[in-house]
């Protein structure tokens, strides 16, 4: 707040006082009053007014500077009324009370929506666990009646299971800290589990898998990592070539991190889509061509790795393939020791 803005806000008050002074001065001149008396009246009238205005300006500037400083350091700006000091002037106190009341009302609304969100998430998790029973029964029926039709049905059931798993992890993605268990994870074992899970897809599409260069141990949640890996491997299969496709999984240990890379020689991603692949619901050119993309997989992977304290990068060239890397900071591992 500048002095110019402050005085502009008090223009009417100052104009009224100047107008009254001019009227009184005119009357005094008509009755032949001494000009020195008029000057004295001016000083007695306006020096206290201007002094008061300057003192109030300084006080308000200090208050606003303090509020701006608090706002700059607050992660949650809506908590301003909780940490600011109560002003001494009447106007400031009224504003302070209004802010506190508004903040209290906002907290009640936030709590209401948070309760609704938790209730919805709990319902989704319950539904996911309940739906697993009929799916398990379906698998049992298929296993007892093996033929070409039931084998095709089994593949569709597998896709249903993957979508259900995605729903479960999506519902938990905002509360990862309450669900994960940090422990030692062998990257070769993790990769083998994911590859085994998708083995039929690799065989059907004739995709070669090379994971000989995978080694190392990290500290993270094995369940969440397996889900992330399954999403990335699933994309490598979905957008790979038929019969001459290849997926290479490798690790590199750097000074500050271990990088697990999944590289394919598939169709690749066009340049204009690269910066948006982690956006929620974004399917891009490939999604429109294949018609099977939900735009949730990579978004969810990015969200989960960030909450686990990891990194995720993606590079691609159209017609040559895509490379996705999960970055495990070594400081996280040393912390766990």
Q: In this structure, what DSSP letter does residue 87 have?
A: P
**Which stretch of 10-14, 60-64, 248-252 has the lowest confidence by average pLDDT?**
60-64
How confident is the model at residue 288, as a pLDDT?
A: 62
Contact 62/84 with Cβ under 8 angstroms?
A: no
d(CA 91, CA 282): 49
Helix (H, G, I), strand (E, B) or coil at 221: coil
**Which stretch of 43-52, 76-85, 208-217, 259-268 has the lowest confidence by average pLDDT?**
76-85
pLDDT tens for each residue of 237-246: 888 887 788 9
How confident is the model at residue 188, as a pLDDT?
A: 93
Q: How many residues does the chain have?
A: 337
How confident is the model at residue 290, as a pLDDT?
A: 60
d(CA 150, CA 61): 77
Whether the per-residue pLDDT at 18 is higher than 50: the answer is: yes
Helix (H, G, I), strand (E, B) or coil at 248: strand
**Which stretch of 89-98, 104-113, 199-208, 242-251 has the lowest confidence by average pLDDT?**
89-98
Rounded average pLDDT over 86-100:
76
Contact 244/255 with Cβ under 8 angstroms?
A: no
d(CA 230, CA 304): 13
- CA torsion, points 138, 292, 203, 205, in degrees to nearest 10? 140
Q: Which of 4-8, 87-91, 327-331 has the highest mean pLDDT?
A: 327-331
For tokens 């007014």, the residue is: 49
Contact 322/263 with Cβ under 8 angstroms?
A: yes
For the record, the structure tokens of 36 come out as 């020195």
pLDDT tens for each residue of 137-170: 998 999 888 888 888 898 888 889 888 888 888 8
Q: In this structure, what DSSP letter does residue 85 have?
A: P
Q: Does this model's pTM top 0.75?
A: no
How confident is the model at residue 336, as a pLDDT?
A: 40
Angle at 51 between CA 46 and CA 53, to 5 degrees: 95
pLDDT tens for each residue of 278-321: 888 777 776 666 656 677 888 989 998 988 889 999 999 988 89
d(CA 9, CA 22): 22
Residue that wins the pLDDT comparison between 227 and 86: 227
How confident is the model at residue 152, as a pLDDT?
A: 87
Rounded average pLDDT over 64-78:
74
Whether the per-residue pLDDT at 332 is higher than 60: the answer is: no
**Cα–Cα separations (whole angstroms), residue 230 to 82, 197, 262:** 45, 8, 11
**Which stretch of 62-76, 109-123, 211-225 has the lowest confidence by average pLDDT?**
62-76
d(CA 94, CA 143): 73
Average pLDDT, the chain: 84
Residue that wins the pLDDT comparison between 92 and 312: 312
Residue 99: pLDDT band with limits 50, 70, 90: confident
How confident is the model at residue 193, as a pLDDT?
A: 93
Residue that wins the pLDDT comparison between 157 and 106: 157
Domains in the chain with CATH codes: 3-106 (no CATH), 180-336 (3.30.565.10)
Whether the per-residue pLDDT at 248 is higher than 90: the answer is: yes
How confident is the model at residue 334, as a pLDDT?
A: 41
How confident is the model at residue 189, as a pLDDT?
A: 94
Contact 278/235 with Cβ under 8 angstroms?
A: no
How confident is the model at residue 335, as a pLDDT?
A: 39
How confident is the model at residue 132, as a pLDDT?
A: 85
**Which stretch of 187-201, 216-230, 271-285 has the lowest confidence by average pLDDT?**
271-285
């Amino acid at each position: 707040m500048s002095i110019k803005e402050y005085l502009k806000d008090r223009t009417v008050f100052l104009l009224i006082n100047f107008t009254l002074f001019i009227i009184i001065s005119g009357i005094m001149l008509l009755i032949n009053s001494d000009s020195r008396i008029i000057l004295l009246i001016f000083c007695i009238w306006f020096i206290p007014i201007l002094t008061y205005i300057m003192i109030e300006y300084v006080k308000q500037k200090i208050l606003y500077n303090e509020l701006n400083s608090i706002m700059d350091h607050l992660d949650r700006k809506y908590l301003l009324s909780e940490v600011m000091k109560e002003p001494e002037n009447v106007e400031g106190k009224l504003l302070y009370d209004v802010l506190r009341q508004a903040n209290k009302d906002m907290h009640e609304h936030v709590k209401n929506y948070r309760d609704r969100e938790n209730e919805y998430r709990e319902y989704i998790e319950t539904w996911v666990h309940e739906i697993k029973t009929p799916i398990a029964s379906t698998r049992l029926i298929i296993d007892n009646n093996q033929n070409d039709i039931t084998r095709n049905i089994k593949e569709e059931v597998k896709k249903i299971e993957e979508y259900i798993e995605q729903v479960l992890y999506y519902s938990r993605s905002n509360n990862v800290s309450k669900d994960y268990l940090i422990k030692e994870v062998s990257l070769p074992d993790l990769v083998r589990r994911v590859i085994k899970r998708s083995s039929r897809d690799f065989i059907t599409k004739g995709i070669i898998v090379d994971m000989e260069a995978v080694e190392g141990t990290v500290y993270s949640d094995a369940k969440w990592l397996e889900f992330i890996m399954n999403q990335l491997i699933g994309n490598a299969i979905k957008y790979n070539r038929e019969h001459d496709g290849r997926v290479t999984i490798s690790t590199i240990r750097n000074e500050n991190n271990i990088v697990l890379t999944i590289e394919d020689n598939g169709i690749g991603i066009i340049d204009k889509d690269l910066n948006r692949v982690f956006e929620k619901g974004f399917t891009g050119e490939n999604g429109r061509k294949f018609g099977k993309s939900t735009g949730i997989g990579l978004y969810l992977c990015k969200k989960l790795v960030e909450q686990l304290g990891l990194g995720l990068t993606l590079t691609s060239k159209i017609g040559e393939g895509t490379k996705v890397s999960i970055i495990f900071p070594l400081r996280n591992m040393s912390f766990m020791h």
